[in-house]
Amino acid sequence: MAQTNIVLEAKDITKQFPGVLANDGVNFNLRKGEIHALLGENGAGKSTLMNVLYGLHLPDKGEIYVNEKPVLIHSSNDSIALGIGMVHQHFMLIPVFTVAENIMLGDETVRRGMLDQNAVAEKVNQLSKQYGMDVDPLALVGQLPVGVQQRVEIVKTLYRDAQILILDEPTAVLTPQEADDLFRIMRDLTKRGVSIIFITHKLKEVLAIADRITVMRAGRTVGTVSPKDVNPEKLATMMVGREVNLVILKKQANPKEATLVVKDLHVEDDRRYPAVRGVSFEVHAGEVLGIAGVQGNGQTQLAEALTGLRPTQSGQVTLAGKDITGKTPRVITETGLANIPEDRQRHGLVLSYTIADNMVLCNYYRPPFANGVVMQPDQIDANARQLIKDFDVRTPSPFVPASKLSGGNQQKVIVARELSRPIKLLIASQPTRGLDVGSIEYIHSRIIQKRDEGAAVLLVSSELDEIMVLSDRIAVMYRGQIVDIVPAANVSKEYLGLLMAGVKLEDAVKSAPKQEKEIKVERVF
Amino acid sequence: MDWKRFSFIALVIIVLFGAVVMVGQSQQRPILIITSMLATTIAVATPLTLGALSGVFCERSGVVNIGIEGMMLSAAFFGWLAAIYMFHVFGFPIGISITVGALFAVITGGLMGLLLAVLSITFNVDQIIGGTVINILAVGLTGFLNRQLFFGKGSVFGGQVPNSPGVLPTIHIPIREIFAPLCSDSIICIENIRAINRVFDQKPIAMGAVLLVFIAHFILFKTRWGLRTRSVGEHPKAADTVGINVFKMRYANVIIGGCLAGLAGAYFTIESVPSFEPLLTNGRGFISLAAMIFGNWTPIGAWAAALVFGASQALQINMQLFRESIPPQWAFLQQSYVVGLAPYILTMLILTGIIGKTTPPAADGVPYEK
């Protein structure tokens, strides 16, 4: 017992959902004080396994051992009693409650019939001091930044004396700085004997922090490795089951005439403050123009204005020689726009519609999908089957509601719908946010393919890596204006970072002449 | 509840009271008019207050209850029926008969709550439909039974509606006994104290309703039960992950809500008047909902809003008294239905949201699926 130090072991876990075998004989174990990463694509069965361990699902088959004793976990109460705590990807916090109320919920401290918030606050303060996690127990959770909310979740599990911590995709919602802070906390926790299961699909993080890595694919465990023995390519291959191109190969762009011309565009945000303030640029056929920038600098409003979803205050937008300023989305779409919106669930899909119906959202009213006012289900069905095949959408049938698909497959449905039409311009906003390696690779290659076919592509992304990999030219937005447009081939990440802070190179030189030599512009590729 | 809302409520009540004082001051001293208005306001606000509390409990736990109206109506009927049976058929004394009647009303409300819970929590029926089912069921059931039992051929009471044993008595709060001696025989002073006393002399359900407002506030915001109730109404999954049984919490709260609506029903036939007529609740269940929304799903806020509606009803009642002294240019106020519109206009005004937006519990109306 002492030699192995295994605090949690799952043996041969099988869990069947209608239509999906989510876990198929999964084996997994966790040692005391280690960070064990569970890596896998969306839909590989990671979350199912964790929900089984946390008592949210009952396995059809298999055994669970905690501290080498067989246990039955029927509900979250059982797992909490066994010292297992889980931080869910979507936080299980109530925004209108205080931190203390959230932490005590389900395990309340009561004095004379009344909730004793002060006693809880005291214990929370003590815990946060002990583990170096700064949280104010009396703050309202809804007013806290995401990173702090996550800390509240961790404290919530420690409050219940959790010795085994499950973190489900904890970095998906964090900024890089917040993620670093989380990693520091995770290391602190393991030093104090807490064992952590870290679920993710981000390779770099795994290699940076994990002690061991278990990779899952299609409901099975592929293997458990040490980070010393692997590299990102090998992990990606284990995850996806084939070779993955982490570096995209693309030919030299061959730009032709200007497809999209934007002149002095002004757009307001929801609160009617100017969000885009006099932006002008062109996107040529056969090139990718990347719009980089820290989120909230007007990129979202720009994309919405160009796609007709948001009114413009002034300025002119021309698509393929046609003035589309202030036109409806349908007119713009028919002129030749494809749009991959930023929020795929709210603006890209009708979640309760079937995949087949989602795939004809832009042209359902035209033959062959409609004959006058009558829909043609056979055509819609045939179209869906073809696109599912062409774009590799993983779904049991075309008649599944879009809400039942994983994020990557949802995005593929959108990409299939938008890119299967003859288009002149593609506007892709955050096209791979929250997706796994395989889906990212696929969507990137599709975007480049469209460019090579002669479409103009406007890529809006806050992932600098993505911008640099895909773009031929990069426009950086800062406070509603374009600071500069630079060719992607000879710009450094550092210089882009400066532009994103609103500093143009000449300005930088002027404002800090002595540092001139330290600013180098290098080739990235 | 923010200051804006409370000041709006205060303003409306002052305007309503002021209108009656202006019309009636030629006949009565203002303090007497105001105390009489206040007493009426509190009394007629009773079913609205209880109805709104019913809504607060249901919706705080995540179940929309638009069936308050139907719960009230059926409780009013069955409470009244129980009182009649106890008195006429089983021969119990008046006091026991009407107490049992009130109890039956509460139980009826609770059962209607259970029905809503079964429909909306167990069977995931759309909660608006579930509430509508209760409203329609109540109208049909009470109308049918009322006819069959009392008016039909061979009905129990032979086609004669028996007299109900009566209504709950007013409870006297001894204010004048304590303060009158301080007046040193000033007639006006004694009259004033008597008038003030009348505000506090209310019937048991009216008093109970005010008490329940504060009890409900305490339960919802100070106790474990309240924290859990609010958690299942805000984010049931979060509650589930910390081991709270969402279904049980929702069931319990919807049944509590039903009981409160039942008590509101008892007000009509056990406390206010000793008789039943079809549709006697007359939309008060829906006005309760408006009060609950305007009160931002808090017991005290809902009570304040219920008082506004009570005041507009008191206006209607008191305007009748002073009909003769309404100045000719305001002659339209003599038409009772003009004044009678006030509560409904207020409802619409409040629900448009011009007095600021309210926020329902995040999972209000959303069935929880594990």
Q: What does the pLDDT look like over A241-294, one tens digit per residue?
A: 877 766 666 778 888 899 999 999 999 987 788 999 999 999 999 999 999 987
Q: What's the whole-number mean pLDDT along residues A37-43?
A: 84
Question: For residues A444 and A469, is the Cβ–Cβ distance under 8 A?
Answer: yes
Q: What are phi and psi of A217, to 5 degrees?
A: -150, 130
Tokens matching residue A426 = 């593609």
Q: Please spell the DSSP secondary structure of A115-131, one letter per residue.
A: E-HHHHHHHHHHHHHHH
Q: Is A75 among the domain residues?
A: yes
Tokens matching residue B165 = 């044993």
Q: Give the residue on B whose Cα is nearest the Cα of A117.
A: B222
For residue A364, the distance in angstroms to the closest alpha carbon of chain B comes to: 30
Shared domain for A448 and A511, answered yes or no, is yes
Q: Is A521 among the domain residues?
A: yes
Task: Supply the mean pLDDT for chain A.
Answer: 87
Q: What's the whole-number mean pLDDT along residues A485-503?
A: 83
Binned at pLDDT 50, 70 and 90, residue A427 comes out as very high
A94, A99, A101, best to mutate vs chain B, most B CBs in 10 Å? A94
Tokens matching residue A146 = 């995401």
pTM here is: 0.79
Put simply, the answer to whether B240 touches A86 (Cβ < 8 Å) is: no
Q: Is A357 among the domain residues?
A: yes
Shared domain for A156 and A302, answered yes or no, is no
Provide CB contacts within 8 A for A521, sequence distance 6+.
A490, A491, A492, A495, A505
Quote the domain boundaries for residue A155: 6-240
Residue A437 confidence (pLDDT) above 80: no
Residue A519 confidence (pLDDT) above 50: no
Contacts of B364 in chain A (CB under 8 A): none
Task: Supply the mean pLDDT for chain B.
Answer: 90
d(CA B294, CA B360): 10
Question: For residues A29 and A6, is the Cβ–Cβ distance under 8 A?
Answer: yes
Cα atoms in the 13 Å half-sphere on the side-chain side of A442: 20
For B178-210, write each residue's pLDDT tens digit: 888 888 778 888 888 999 999 999 999 999 999
Q: What are phi and psi of A114, to 5 degrees?
A: -110, 150
Q: Is B33 among the domain residues?
A: yes
Shared domain for A301 and A195, answered yes or no, is no
Token match 């000793």: residue?
B274
Residue A525 confidence (pLDDT) above 60: no
Q: Give the residue on A whose Cα is nearest the Cα of B229.
A: A105
Q: Specify the amino acid at residue B272.
A: S
Quote the domain boundaries for residue B286: 27-168+203-295
Query: For chain B, how many structural domains are there in total?
Result: 1
Shared domain for A354 and A494, answered yes or no, is no
Shared domain for A55 and A151, answered yes or no, is yes
Put simply, the answer to whether A114 touches B223 (Cβ < 8 Å) is: yes
d(CA B69, CA A108): 36
Q: Specify the amino acid at residue B360.
A: P
Q: Is B310 among the domain residues?
A: no
Contacts of B237 in chain A (CB under 8 A): 92
d(CA A70, CA A11): 10
Contacts of A54 in chain B (CB under 8 A): 241
Considering only CB atoms, B224 lies closest to which of A76, A97, A108, namely A108
Put simply, the answer to whether B235 touches A92 (Cβ < 8 Å) is: yes
Tokens matching residue A136 = 């104010």
Considering only CB atoms, B242 lies closest to which of A76, A110, A115, namely A76
Element (H, E) at A214: strand A212-217
d(CA B157, CA B89): 10
d(CA B306, CA B49): 5
Put simply, the answer to whether B235 touches A94 (Cβ < 8 Å) is: yes
Shared domain for A17 and A88, answered yes or no, is yes
Report the alpha-carbon angle A402-A408-A414, nearest 5. 55
Considering only CB atoms, B222 lies closest to which of A88, A104, A115, namely A115
The verdict on A6 touching B (C-beta cutoff 8 Å) is no
For B47-77, write each residue's pLDDT tens digit: 999 999 999 999 999 999 999 999 999 999 9
Contacts of B243 in chain A (CB under 8 A): 75-77, 80, 106-107
Residue among B279, B210, B217 nearest B43 (CA): B210
d(CA B280, CA A135): 54
Evaluated on CA atoms B320, B324, B327, B331, the torsion sign reads positive
Question: For residues A312 and A497, is the Cβ–Cβ distance under 8 A?
Answer: no
d(CA A396, CA A402): 12
Instruction: Look at residues A176, A209, A240 and tell me which one is the last residue of a structural domain.
Output: A240
Q: Please spell the DSSP secondary structure of A467-518, one letter per residue.
A: HHHH-SEEEEEETTEEEEEEEGGG--HHHHHHHHTT--HHHHHHH-GGGGGG
Residue among B204, B221, B207 nearest B301 (CA): B221
Q: Is B336 among the domain residues?
A: no
Q: Is A481 among the domain residues?
A: yes
Q: Is B130 among the domain residues?
A: yes
214-233 of A, contacting B, C-beta below 8 A: none
Percent of chain A predicted with pLDDT > 70:
93
A86, A105, A107, A109, best to mutate vs chain B, most B CBs in 10 Å? A105
Residue among B194, B204, A6 nearest B212 (CA): B204
Give the start-end residues of each E strand in chain B: none
Burial (0-12, 13-18, 19+ Cβ within 10 Å), B123: exposed
Report pLDDT for A173.
67
Report pLDDT for B336.
67
Instruction: Look at residues A405, A421, A437 and tell me which one is the last residue of a structural domain.
Output: A421
Question: For residues A156 and A85, is the Cβ–Cβ distance under 8 A?
Answer: yes
Q: Is A245 among the domain residues?
A: no
Q: Please spell the DSSP secondary structure of B247-280, one letter per residue.
A: HHHHHHHHHHHHHHHHHHHHIIIIII-S---TTT
Query: For chain A, how many structural domains are there in total?
Result: 3
Contacts of B239 in chain A (CB under 8 A): 105-106
Considering only CB atoms, B241 lies closest to which of A88, A95, A114, namely A88
Percent of chain A predicted with pLDDT > 90:
58
For A53-101, write each residue's pLDDT tens digit: 998 889 999 999 999 999 999 988 999 999 999 998 888 999 999 999 9
Shared domain for A86 and A104, answered yes or no, is yes
d(CA B213, CA B303): 7
Q: Is A316 among the domain residues?
A: yes
Cis bond upstream, residue B169 (ω within 30)? no
Q: Is A493 among the domain residues?
A: yes
Q: Specify the amino acid at residue A121.
A: A
Shared domain for A107 and A212, answered yes or no, is yes
Contacts of B242 in chain A (CB under 8 A): 76, 80, 92, 105-107, 156
- Compare A237 and A178 and report the one with higher pLDDT: A237
Q: Is B193 among the domain residues?
A: no
Shared domain for A291 and A379, answered yes or no, is no
Q: Is A1 among the domain residues?
A: no
Residue A510 confidence (pLDDT) above 60: no
Shared domain for A353 and A275, answered yes or no, is no
Considering only CB atoms, B227 lies closest to which of A88, A101, A113, namely A101
Put simply, the answer to whether A113 touches B227 (Cβ < 8 Å) is: no
Put simply, the answer to whether A94 touches B234 (Cβ < 8 Å) is: yes
Residue B230 confidence (pLDDT) above 90: yes
At what angle are helices B30-60 and B68-84 packed, to 10 degrees?
110
328-387 of A, contacting B, C-beta below 8 A: none
Shared domain for A511 and A376, answered yes or no, is no
Distances in Å between the alpha carbon of B260 and those of A260, B179, B192, B361? 64, 35, 35, 20
Tokens matching residue A320 = 């393929």
Residue B159 confidence (pLDDT) above 70: no
Q: Give the residue on B whose Cα is nearest the Cα of A101.
A: B227
Residue among A7, A34, A2 nearest A191 (CA): A34
CB pairs under 8 A between A and B: 66
Binned at pLDDT 50, 70 and 90, residue B325 comes out as confident
Q: What is the CATH number of the domain that holds A267?
A: 3.40.50.300
Q: What are phi and psi of A480, to 5 degrees?
A: 80, 0
Q: Is B315 among the domain residues?
A: no
229-268 of B, contacting A, C-beta below 8 A: 230-231, 234-235, 237-244
d(CA B338, CA B325): 17
Q: What are phi and psi of B97, to 5 degrees?
A: -60, -50
Say which range, A304-308, A371-375, B246-250, B329-333, has the weakest mean pLDDT.
B329-333
Instruction: Look at residues A378, A400, A421 and tell me which one is the last residue of a structural domain.
Output: A421
Q: Is B59 among the domain residues?
A: yes
Provide CB contacts within 8 A for B46, sequence distance 6+.
B205, B206, B209, B264, B267, B271, B310
Shared domain for A105 and A160, answered yes or no, is yes
Tokens matching residue B278 = 């079809």
Q: Is B192 among the domain residues?
A: no
**Residue-wise over A61-97: b if at least 16 C-beta within 10 A, else e?**
ebebebbeeeeebebbbebbebbbbbbbeebbbbbbb
Considering only CB atoms, B238 lies closest to which of A92, A104, A107, namely A92
Q: Specify the amino acid at residue B111.
A: L
d(CA B132, CA A370): 38
Binned at pLDDT 50, 70 and 90, residue A377 comes out as very high
Put simply, the answer to whether A92 touches B241 (Cβ < 8 Å) is: yes
Contacts of A113 in chain B (CB under 8 A): 223
Put simply, the answer to whether A76 touches B239 (Cβ < 8 Å) is: no
The verdict on A105 touching B (C-beta cutoff 8 Å) is yes
For residue A451, the distance in angstroms to the closest alpha carbon of chain B comes to: 44
Percent of chain B predicted with pLDDT > 90:
61
Put simply, the answer to whether B223 touches A93 (Cβ < 8 Å) is: no
Say which range, A192-196, A311-315, B22-26, B29-33, has the weakest mean pLDDT.
B22-26
Contacts of B224 in chain A (CB under 8 A): 108, 110, 115
Q: What's the whole-number mean pLDDT along residues B228-254?
A: 95
